[in-house]
Chains A and B, each alone.
Chain A
Amino acid sequence: MAAETGTPTTLTLKSNDDELFSVAESAAILSVTIRNMVEDGCAGGVIPLDNVDGKTLASVITYMNGISAIPADEEKKKSYRDKFLSDKDFETLADMVLAANYLNMSCLMDAVSAKIAQVMEKKSVGWVRRKFGIENDYTPEEEAAVKEEHKWTFEGVETDDDN
């Protein structure tokens, strides 16, 4: 925890591509992974985060600082999260959810998952495949069989010629 001197403790985080970031401990401990390190007293030097690249880490730290600056007001936090994620493309969202998972930050994880789910909602199969870069490895027969199996789910969904 922060020392009583008034100067907040700062941690140094290192991404897997060797970028260094300094961040206030009070914000960084939103990550349970980092908090455990701090509590175990192994956060003195540089904290290496092997599964997060610099670009994503910068973004996560922006989030940490932003959300921890908001007092306990769930509404405001939610609107901050919405705003924070609103301009992120899917690639970034996927990076973020992986980072949030690794850092054990449930609030960010839930928010990003919800955002990705929101992107998927009411979209055709072809659109989702293209947007998310999913390679269709079904043969046409297999695909038809899967569609037949769950025929009801495709009612009212626009069909589009995919790939």
Chain B
Amino acid sequence: MAGKRVAKFQTKKCAEIVYGDDDRISRLPDDILVDILSLLSLKEAVCTSVLSSRWHNLWKHIYRLNFDPHVSLQKGTQQGFESCKEKRKKKFQKDVNRWINFAIVRHVQRLELDLTTGDSSRYNCSLPQELLTKNTSSEIDFKPLKVLCLKSVDVTEEDIKFFQSKCPMLEELVVDRSLKLLNVEVCGGPFLVLKHLELTRCYNLKSVKVCAPNLTSLTLQKVECLLLENVPRLVEVSVCRAYSKVSTTVALSAFACCDFQLEILTLEMKGFE
């Protein structure tokens, strides 16, 4: 219930006069309008540019890119996207950096970052380089990390090396849709506790070298060169979209020459000729 009105001094006619019918939403300041636009889909936010001159550029300040997965993202979206891309990208990257920083300084054990947005997954972010190179800094401690899952994040070879050296407890590493990943090397002695490795939809991936004594499961997609060494515990291997002959033969020969107790081997052969 409303608070008890102690006294009523005058009616509120003035308010009605000040806010006439003609400026109902215009009296909201830009930052509130941007808040509202940020809740709309990108398409609808851009659409507001035609309302009036004040709205012409407002949508470019939205801080959330909200794609509608049901709308096909064709040329138009690209176009709209390009318009605010640079600015948004900077802002977005800043957010990502903040999230990761936030998580790491709080000693998370499981860090999952999924930036996949419908079909428009070309908008990847990188990992915060300043965080990754600040390896001497005492407050940034990656040690507790056990699970790292990065989707649609531009993870590089160097990033993977970095996490390997900084996260001695890392048991699970998942990278999905990083176009910057070319050659991956996950190698270590008995102290490498990594159990699960998953590299999917990294379409530029050329070679993978794994030498991990505690590894139990490995998931790969479209790999051209695979080298497995010292994987005595590997029991589950899955190669999705192994449709290229190269991938399959490479994969099979790599597994064959390894002396291990494989229990499950999944080869997704869709489109195999």
Interface residues in chain A, defined as those with a beta carbon under 8 Å from any beta carbon in chain B = 12-13, 17-23, 53-55, 58-59, 61-62, 65, 90-91, 94, 97-98, 101, 109, 113-114, 116-117, 120-122, 125, 128-129, 132-138, 142-143, 146-147, 149-155, 157
* Chain B contacts for A152, CB-based, 8 A: 43, 74-77, 79-80
* Chain A contacts for B56, CB-based, 8 A: 146
Interface residues in chain B, defined as those with a beta carbon under 8 Å from any beta carbon in chain A = 1-10, 12, 14-15, 19, 21-29, 32, 35-37, 39-41, 43-44, 46-56, 74-77, 79-80
* Chain B contacts for A132, CB-based, 8 A: 24-25
Report if A61-B76 is in contact (Cβ < 8 Å); known contacts: A128-B51, A147-B50: no
Question: Are A134 and B52 neighbours in the complex by a CB distance under 8 Å?
Answer: yes
Which of A53, A114, A125 lies in contact with B47, CB distance below 8 A?
A125
Question: Are A91 and B24 neighbours in the complex by a CB distance under 8 Å?
Answer: yes
Question: Are A94 and B50 neighbours in the complex by a CB distance under 8 Å?
Answer: no
Question: Are B27 and A94 neighbours in the complex by a CB distance under 8 Å?
Answer: yes
* Chain B contacts for A133, CB-based, 8 A: 21-26
What are 30 pairs between A and B in contact, CB < 8 Å?
A: A19-B5, A20-B7, A21-B4, A53-B15, A58-B2, A61-B3, A62-B2, A62-B3, A65-B2, A65-B3, A94-B24, A98-B28, A98-B32, A101-B32, A113-B36, A121-B44, A129-B52, A133-B21, A133-B23, A134-B51, A135-B26, A142-B53, A143-B50, A147-B50, A150-B47, A152-B74, A152-B76, A153-B80, A155-B76, A157-B47
* Chain B contacts for A109, CB-based, 8 A: 35
Report if A97-B24 is in contact (Cβ < 8 Å); known contacts: A22-B3, A152-B76: no
* Chain A contacts for B55, CB-based, 8 A: 134
Task: Output the least CB separation between B96 and chain A (Å).
Answer: 22
Assembled-state Cα–Cα distance A59/B53 (Å): 33
* Chain B contacts for A138, CB-based, 8 A: 50, 52-53
* Chain B contacts for A62, CB-based, 8 A: 1-3
A-B contact count, CB below 8 Å? Answer: 142
Question: Are B50 and A120 neighbours in the complex by a CB distance under 8 Å?
Answer: no
Assembled-state Cα–Cα distance A142/B50 (Å): 9
Assembled-state Cα–Cα distance A97/B39 (Å): 15
- The interface residues of chain A, by DSSP majority, are classed as helix
Question: Are B5 and A136 neighbours in the complex by a CB distance under 8 Å?
Answer: no
Q: Look across to chain A and name the residue whose beta carbon is closest to the beta carbon of B18.
A: A53
Task: Output the least CB separation between A53 and chain B (Å).
Answer: 5
Question: Are B9 and A18 neighbours in the complex by a CB distance under 8 Å?
Answer: yes
* Chain B contacts for A22, CB-based, 8 A: 3-4, 6
Task: Output the least CB separation between B53 and chain A (Å).
Answer: 5
* Chain A contacts for B32, CB-based, 8 A: 97-98, 101, 113
Assembled-state Cα–Cα distance A53/B8 (Å): 12
- Given A122-B44, A151-B76, A154-B50, 6 more A-B residue pairs with CB atoms under 8 Å apart are A62-B1, A91-B24, A98-B27, A101-B32, A120-B36, A143-B50
Question: Are A20 and B47 neighbours in the complex by a CB distance under 8 Å?
Answer: no
Question: Are A59 and B24 neighbours in the complex by a CB distance under 8 Å?
Answer: no
* Chain A contacts for B9, CB-based, 8 A: 17-19
* Chain B contacts for A136, CB-based, 8 A: 51-52
Q: Which 3 A-B pairs rank lowest in CB-CB distance, beginning with the nearest?
A: A152-B76, A117-B39, A133-B24
Assembled-state Cα–Cα distance A22/B14 (Å): 23
* Chain A contacts for B26, CB-based, 8 A: 133-135
Assembled-state Cα–Cα distance A142/B56 (Å): 11
Question: Are B36 and A58 neighbours in the complex by a CB distance under 8 Å?
Answer: no
Question: Are B43 and A153 neighbours in the complex by a CB distance under 8 Å?
Answer: yes
Q: Look across to chain B and name the residue whose beta carbon is closest to the beta carbon of A15.
A: B12
Task: Output the least CB separation between A89 and chain B (Å).
Answer: 10
Task: Output the least CB separation between B46 and chain A (Å).
Answer: 5
Which of B28, B43, B79 lies in contact with A97, CB distance below 8 A?
B28
Question: Are A91 and B43 neighbours in the complex by a CB distance under 8 Å?
Answer: no
Assembled-state Cα–Cα distance A119/B106 (Å): 39
Question: Are B3 and A53 neighbours in the complex by a CB distance under 8 Å?
Answer: no
Report if A54-B44 is in contact (Cβ < 8 Å); known contacts: A20-B5, A91-B19: no
